[in-house]
Amino acid sequence: MRGLKGKSVLITGGSRGIGQATAQRFLEEGSQVFICGLEREEVEQTVEKLAKLGKIQGIACDVSVEDQVLDLVAQAEHALGGIDILIDNAGIAWEEPFLEITAEHWDKIIAVNLRGMFLVAREVARRMVARGKGGAIVLMSSKNGLAGEVKYAHYNASKGAVVMLMKTMALELGPHNIRVNALCPGYILTPLAESIDSPEFIAAYVNNIPLGRLGRPAEVAAAYAFLASDDASFMHGTELLLDGGQLSQ
């Protein structure tokens, strides 16, 4: 993809699943990468696994804690010599019927998926504006940010809000030549998905997907790379759905 070689990329939630596949993709494109994840050991294992592909570093960070986010972005900027691209990817999910969702569970999902997304994006954008070289930011929403799904009211609310966060950021950051977009994947086979659903559930679920299969982390990584690349230079303030056709029904 055009315009990714030599670029500096911060990826949150880069220690496994979609985020790890995305770190791999940007390294293959010739970018340099800084990742964070919740668990230090997992971050270190990912850095070690991908180091043969290019320059990658990372630290543990809880994106819902403001002080940790400020430290993350400062460390990433120092290591990368300026951030060109933010992949704001970290997120959590679990199933819970609407009538049983506790205030604590609601707050936890919103804290990571929405507050964390905002804290990282705001700090990176502040530094991009100060640097004056523009940039690209991609926020992770979901197909569940565009349509409801039973047992995910807290998650769906967080991902729907990410779309509106993205659109407002696009209005305010466009004049600084910072492009902002969101990704809306359908069901992707990752450790998160496998922690929620049984193989039997997944086998039945694919009947809802016209392409007849779940998505792969590398396919989401390719969409992240596209939105961050010069090939998407006029895409701004938009959400890109990649769901195997599920929402077409």
Ligand X SMILES: NC(=O)c1ccc[n+]([C@@H]2O[C@H](COP(=O)([O-])OP(=O)(O)OC[C@H]3O[C@@H](n4cnc5c(N)ncnc54)[C@H](O)[C@@H]3O)[C@@H](O)[C@H]2O)c1
Residues with catalytic roles: 155
d(CA 19, CA 38): 12
Q: ∠194-200-205 over CA atoms, to 5°? A: 80
Q: Does 185 bind ligand X (CB under 6 A)?
A: yes
Taking contact as CB under 6 A, which single stretch among the options 48-56, 75-83, 88-96, 101-109 is the one that binds ligand X?
A: 88-96
Answer for which of 10, 19, 152, 179 binds ligand X (CB under 6 A) is 19
Q: Does 156 bind ligand X (CB under 6 A)?
A: no
Report the residue number, 17 or 135, with the smaller CB distance to ligand X: 17
Question: Shortest gap between Cβ of 5 and ligand X (angstroms)?
Answer: 25
Report the residue number, 2 or 105, with the smaller CB distance to ligand X: 105
Answer for which of 37, 58, 160, 244 binds ligand X (CB under 6 A) is 37
Contacts with ligand X, residue ranges (CB under 6 A):
12-13, 15-19, 36-39, 61-64, 89-93, 112, 116, 140, 142, 185, 187-188, 190-193
